[in-house]
Amino acid sequence: MTSRTTPRPAARTPRFRPHPAQVVAAAFATTILIGTGLLMLPIATPGVGGASFLDAIFTATSAVCVTGLIVVDTATRWSAFGQVVILLLIQIGGLGIMTFASVIGLAVMRKLSLRSRITAAAEAKSVGLDDVKGLVFGVVRMTLVIEASVALLLGLRFLIGYGEPLGRAVWLGAFHAVSSFNNAGFALFSDNLISYATDPFICLPIAAAVILGGLGFPVIVQLRRHLRMPRKWNMNTRLVLAGTLILLVGGTVYITAVEWSNPATLGPLDWPNKLLVGFFQSVQARTAGFNSVDTGAMDSASLLGTDILMLIGGGPAGTAGGIKITTFGVLFFILLAEVRGDTAVNVFGKRLSRAVHRQAITIVLLAVAVVTASTAALMVMTDISMDKLLFEVISAFGTVGLSTGITAGLPEAGKVILMLLMFIGRLGPITFASALALRDRPTAYELPKERPIIG
């Protein structure tokens, strides 16, 4: 009698499930490529022929990463179609690719898959999955309300104050409202906003939109709910608000003082307009990139101060770039605790998690490494002074968009470096590094402790 054995089922090959950071990075890269293709169409540029691949991909990268660095004049190089494409790329990039995809999914399917919720939460820096749907709708609603309000103010000013035709005034208001709230810095004027440097009805609404966008969506949501109850603000909101106020005031005082007598910037202006321009430039250094004076004519000390503001950036989980105010604030309190000899780091009456210490230090070290390596590479390629190259590198990494005017003249390899910096800066150093990792590496053991001599 023969026995019949049942064959074992073949082992299934485990499905590759990309890390959420890899999904976010791929989504941004795909959007940039689509934008590049649209900008290369003949209809995207006036006259005969389309844009070159390098000009198109640099502009698309700058728009999706809400930076504002340009290699061609936005006002003259791109047609109405090309400018609309840039505007859409700014809006999608500012909202976040996965947030935008979630909106489409909710509109079509009326629900979000678990994977979609995880990737949207990873992009939005959300701490939980239950609130992702509400977060997505809240972000979109808030964005549209702020942009519409700023667009109305700007449109009326262009219409009444400068006699622009109604259609042109509406377009100018809408474009600059979207560009400012998303901290993009693209402008539809060849001199950016230098012609409107002393017009508070143009500069102040744009500055307000930049500040709101730079706070980050979680802060705006909490302020909307508990504006008159500061005791309910969490540590993130307190750090962002305190840091924003200190950096705005400090930046305004510093830039205004250094440039006060500079004949190429603030020198010819009376003192109220000097304060307006100094404040506007301090706001833009927070990752927006509009300029109301010639940045290339600013004193080297102003460029260095602006470097610091650009590197710190704005609030997390918003449209701002840089290492973020919260990261800088955490490092400050770590330093303060170490100097005092405290055993724990306390921030606004709460103890800081040790995991946050490691994250903050990691972000800063990665940022310093990326900025240093990129600046050194550009110094090898060009004869441009280090202060201007460093300014351009930090502006790209911080997704700011301020420029001393050297971007268009960089060699092709230099422009590629700036594109990579914009991409890394928009994703965030840790997210970018996580996207490069092949897999998570959980550790099942701990090694014995030992302390080297520090300092």
Query: So where are the chain's domains?
Result: 20-435
Distance (Å, rounded) from C-alpha 15 to C-alpha 136? 29
**pLDDT value of position 26:** 83
**pTM for the model:** 0.87
Q: Which residue has the tokens 């840039």?
A: 86
Distance CA 343, CA 337 (A): 8
CB 280 within 8 A of CB 258: no
Q: Confirm if 8 and 16 have CB atoms less than 8 A apart.
A: no
CA–CA distance, 235 with 309 (Å, rounded to integer): 21
pLDDT tens digit string along 335-366? 999 899 888 898 888 888 888 888 889 889 99
**Does the structure show a pLDDT above 60 at 140?**
yes
- Give the angle 137-140-142 at the CA atoms, nearest 5°: 105
Per-residue pLDDT, 305: 95
Residues 6+ apart with CB under 8 A from 277: 197, 198, 256, 265, 266, 269, 292, 293
Average pLDDT over residues 190-194: 94
Q: What is the pLDDT of residue 356?
A: 86
In sequence order, the β-bridge partners of residue 347 are 350
pLDDT range class, residue 448, cuts 50, 70, 90: confident
State the pLDDT confidence band at 384, using cuts at 50, 70 and 90: very high
pLDDT at 239 over 70: yes
The yes-or-no verdict on residue 114 having pLDDT over 50 is no
Cα separation, 318 vs 220, in Å, equals: 10
CA–CA separation, 397 and 374 (whole Å) = 10
Cα–chain-centroid distance for residue 126? Answer: 17
> What is the percentage of the chain residues whose pLDDT exceeds 70?
83
Instruction: Give residue 153's pLDDT band: very low, low, confident or very high (50, 70, 90).
Output: very high
Whether 137 has a pLDDT exceeding 60, the answer reads: yes
CA distance 46 to 152: 28
Q: 427 versus 283: which is more confidently predicted?
A: 283
How high is the pLDDT of residue 173? 97
- Tokens 């840089």: give the residue: 322
Q: How large a percentage of the chain has pLDDT more than 90? A: 60
Assign 3-class secondary structure to 353-421. Answer: CHHHHHHHHHHHHHHHHHHHHHHHHHHHHCCCCHHHHHHHHHHHHCCCCCCCCCHHHCCHHHHHHHHHH
pLDDT at 15 over 80: no
Contacting residues for 81 by C-beta, under 8 A, at least 6 apart:
41, 43, 44
**Pair 424, 416: CB distance under 8 Å:** no
Contact 289, 391 (CB under 8 A): no
Per-residue confidence (pLDDT) for residue 222, from 0 to 100? 82
Nearby residues of 326 by Cβ (< 8 Å), 6 or more positions away: 236, 239, 240, 243, 315, 316
pLDDT at position 380? 96
d(CA 45, CA 38): 10
